[in-house]
């Protein structure tokens, strides 16, 4: 630990009254400069590691201060004399709105006496000293051919375009050839994509060219709004994904898991670009007949569709619309989801308390068009959850199932899927969301009983 960081650590360890007294004793000029002194305010894991590294991987949870750390790294590189810096974002929009103009972006972190000029059309930032930073998008890795950089900051590499991530990373490394020790910082949520796994493996092997620090959402709680903190904790805490999204831990797949997170993420898409030939909404109701009680079991509701791509059927998970509540709540949700995705059918598992499932849907008072007919099909489970999930897991391995949208849309259902093993489900409670997803895909690939005598619930 350096003398300087020791001073900051001593300051933070003081009682609040002494911290206030210390600050009040400073003159205005010192206060102004201290405001922009990152090494004084930052946490140890947010500062560049010691050593002669070339790649620094900062794995951290949501809201942990990754963007601020990356922006400050760039400013330190400018102070150190770097003249050309590459800034690589998932998209050009992310470069502009997060890396440059975000609340924790480069322009927000720059002191007034060293404020650069941002040219949005050229995606360039120019400091008074002549240093320049140029923005790149992982959507267009070919733009990285040619530049000669002495530093780089890669933001959210896990969110880079799946089909272009490796190429973008390779192209960037070829540009880091200026100066005695060109350095690259990578700030990202620790999703186990190959690039991140390779960086972690290199660091763990003892290669001094690679360094890793980790940070958590909890460590930055003082700088987060209470509403954000409570909502994200509610969403992720206590789940396997919580270790990733909150604690900044790179997850390994559970031994024997039927579904692997890397397969799910590798085949994720932003939107459906093919015409869906059929869409179904699957419902996995609980046995409770209580109306809208908060402690009722969760009801799995998942919408999925199928489309032929180059002659092969691919399946798209459109929405996890699962909800907690009684029959009135989940029936309205199921019908609303049916309408939203212009589905062809609602399939509902009726083993537990589901004898009245179709009647419940018929009585739904969701706001729908007059005389709408909702085709509904009853499904009876004759095999265990794991056996039903096995053929679906093969589709994931083949890269034929695509979750449509960002990770947070499917956090809970993906968490449940990844806890299915050959020996059963190893998560807490019942995997209602995963069950609904399996039922939806089973219907689309024809594994459920033939649709004979399908009832049409007139709403």
Q: Write the DSSP assignment of 252-288 as a string of letters.
A: PPPTTBSS-HHHHHHT-BSS--S--SEEEEEEE--S-
- Quick one: average pLDDT of 72-92? 96
Q: How far apart are CA 98 and CA 61, in angstroms?
A: 16
In this prediction, residues 432-454 reach a mean pLDDT of 80
Q: CB-based burial of residue 452 (10 Å sphere; 0-12 exposed, 13-18 middle, 19+ buried)?
A: exposed
311 φ/ψ sector (left φ>0, alpha ψ -120 to 50, else beta): left
Transcribe 115-167 into DSSP letters: --EEETTTTEEE-TTS-EEEEEETT-GGGGSS--BSEEEEE-GGGS-TTTHHH
pLDDT recorded at residue 286: 65
Which pLDDT band holds residue 14 (cuts at 50, 70, 90)? confident
**Is the distance from CB of 283 to CB of 301 less than 8 angstroms?**
yes
Instruction: Map residue 360 onto helix, strand or coil.
Output: helix
pLDDT digits (tens, 9 = 90+) for 139-177: 999 999 888 999 999 999 988 987 789 999 999 999 998
- C-beta of residue 455 within 8 angstroms of C-beta of residue 376: yes
pTM over 0.75: no
66 vs 186: CA distance, rounded Å: 9
What string of DSSP letters covers 374-430?
EEEEEE---S-HHHHHHHHHHHHHTT-EEEBS-GGGGHHHHHHHTTEETTEE-SSS-
Task: Retrieve residue 334's tokens.
Answer: 């199921």
Give 228 or 362, the one with higher predicted confidence: 228
- The 3-state DSSP class for residue 9 equals helix
**Complete domains list, the chain, with CATH:** 36-243 (3.40.50.300), 261-458 (3.30.420.280)
Question: Mean per-residue pLDDT for 431-437?
Answer: 94
% pLDDT > 70, the chain: 88
Residue 65 is given by DSSP the state S
- Tokens for 228? 């954000």
**Given a cut of 60, is residue 41 above it in pLDDT?**
yes
- Is 243's pLDDT higher than 60? yes
């Amino acid at each position: 630990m350096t003398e300087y960081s020791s001073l900051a650590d001593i300051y933070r360890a003081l009682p609040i009254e002494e911290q206030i007294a210390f600050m009040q004793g400073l003159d205005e000029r010192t206060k102004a400069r201290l405001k922009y002194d990152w090494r004084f305010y930052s946490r140890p894991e947010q500062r560049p590691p010691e050593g002669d590294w070339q790649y620094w991987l900062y794995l951290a949870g949501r809201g942990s201060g990754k963007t601020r750390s990356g922006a400050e790294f760039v400013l330190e590189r400018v102070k150190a004399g770097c003249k050309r810096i590459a800034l690589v974002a998932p998209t050009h929009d992310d470069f502009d709105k997060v890396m440059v103009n975000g609340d924790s972006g480069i322009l927000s972190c720059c002191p007034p006496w060293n404020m650069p000029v941002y040219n949005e059309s050229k995606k360039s930032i120019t400091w008074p000293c002549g240093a320049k930073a140029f923005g790149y998008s992982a959507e267009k890795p070919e733009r990285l051919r040619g530049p000669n950089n002495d530093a780089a900051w890669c933001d959210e590499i896990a969110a880079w375009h799946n089909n272009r991530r490796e190429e973008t990373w390779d192209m960037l490394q070829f540009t880091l050839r200026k100066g005695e020790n060109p350095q690259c910082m990578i700030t990202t949520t620790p999703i186990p994509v190959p690039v991140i796994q390779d960086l972690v493996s290199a660091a763990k092997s003892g290669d001094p060219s690679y360094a890793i620090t980790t940070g958590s959402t909890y460590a930055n709680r003082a700088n987060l709004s209470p509403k954000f903190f409570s909502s994200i904790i509610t969403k992720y805490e206590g789940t396997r994904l919580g270790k990733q999204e909150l604690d900044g831990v790179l997850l390994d797949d559970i031994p024997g898991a039927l579904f692997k997170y890397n397969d799910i993420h590798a085949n994720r898409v932003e939107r459906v670009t093919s015409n869906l030939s059929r869409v179904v909404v699957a419902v996995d109701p609980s046995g409770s007949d209580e109306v809208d009680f908060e402690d009722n079991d969760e009801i799995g509701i998942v919408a999925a569709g199928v489309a032929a791509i180059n002659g092969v059927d691919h399946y798209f998970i459109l929405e996890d619309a699962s909800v907690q509540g009684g029959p009135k709540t989940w029936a309205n949700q199921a019908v609303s989801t049916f309408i939203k995705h212009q589905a062809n059918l609602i399939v509902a598992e009726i083993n537990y308390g589901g004898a009245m499932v179709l009647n419940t849907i018929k009585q739904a008072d969701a706001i729908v068009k007059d005389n709408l007919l909702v085709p509904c099909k009853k499904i009876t489970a004759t095999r265990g959850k794991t056996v039903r999930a096995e053929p679906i897991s093969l589709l994931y391995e083949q890269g034929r199932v695509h979750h449509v949208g960002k990770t947070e849309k499917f956090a809970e259902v993906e968490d449940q899927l990844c806890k299915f093993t050959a020996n059963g489900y190893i998560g807490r409670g019942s995997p209602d969301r995963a069950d609904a997803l399996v039922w939806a895909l089973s219907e689309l690939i024809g594994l459920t009983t033939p649709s004979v005598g399908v009832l049409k619930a007139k709403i």
